[in-house]
Amino acid sequence: MLVREPIPGTVKTRLVPAFGPTGAADLYRAFVEDSCERLVPEVPLALAANSPDGWVAGLARRYRVPLIAQGDGDLGTRLRRLATTALESVPRVVLLGSDAPTLPVAHVTAALHALARAPVVVGPSLDGGYNLLGVRAPLPDLFSRIPWKSERVLASTLARLERLRVSPVVLPIWYDVDTADDVAVLARHVSALATLGETPCPRTRRMLARLARRTAERPRPVRRALRAP
């Protein structure tokens, strides 16, 4: 799972206008912790960090999972490096983002199982990207010249696979959380799950409640009536 240090102002920056840099970083931290809590008992997890020490390293120690360096470069360069390095020691790897705290663990296990019969597995996201990508052999061209951070990531990746004559397994679509609208969807989702007696993301749910209270308590600007001269 690709993870970044939750430093205010550097993670989930599209959430900063709604929740502030600290609130956005706190929410991201909850995403990562909840994901670790759910995944560690079910799949062989490793954390790919953008720093060799700090909060992510402590999280890796807490959950007793390997810590891998993402290295430098754009997202495609880092994904290619991680896939190539992992496949030197394991027969298949699933590259997983950390922006989908409610992603069912079943999607990850399904990806691992599908790689027994397919060379590539893709987990599409509602925003036009993907939340996971599984491979069982290095495919360097799969990560180059992709319009990262756009709604064309998934389409470009599938087109690239078609040119490479690779038929992927495509999992059910899910959603990432990148914008304030995504957070609203997430809040409704975890609330509905709680109503059903399910609490897969307790830290995220608590942080959403805290951020909602902060927003409600934020003073509203006073509008002054303009008097005609």
Which CATH number characterizes residue 133's domain? 3.90.550.10
pTM, full prediction: 0.91
Instruction: Using pLDDT thresholds of 50, 70 and 90, give the confidence band for residue 165.
Output: very high
Domain that holds residue 150: 2-217
Mean pLDDT estimate for the chain? 93
Helix axis angle for 202-217 and 16-39, nearest 10°, is 170
| Confidence (pLDDT) at 215 | 78
Nearest to 118 by CA among 90, 137, 140: 137
**Residue 227, pLDDT above cutoff 70:** no
* Residue 226 belongs to some domain of the structure: no
| Confidence (pLDDT) at 156 | 97
Question: Do residues 115 and 137 make contact, with C-beta atoms less than 8 angstroms apart?
Answer: no
**Residue 41, pLDDT above cutoff 90:** yes
**Residue 220, pLDDT above cutoff 80:** no
* Residue 225 belongs to some domain of the structure: no
89-98, 104-113, 210-219, range with the lowest pLDDT: 210-219
* Residue 227 belongs to some domain of the structure: no
* Residue 229 belongs to some domain of the structure: no
Q: How many domains does the chain have?
A: 1
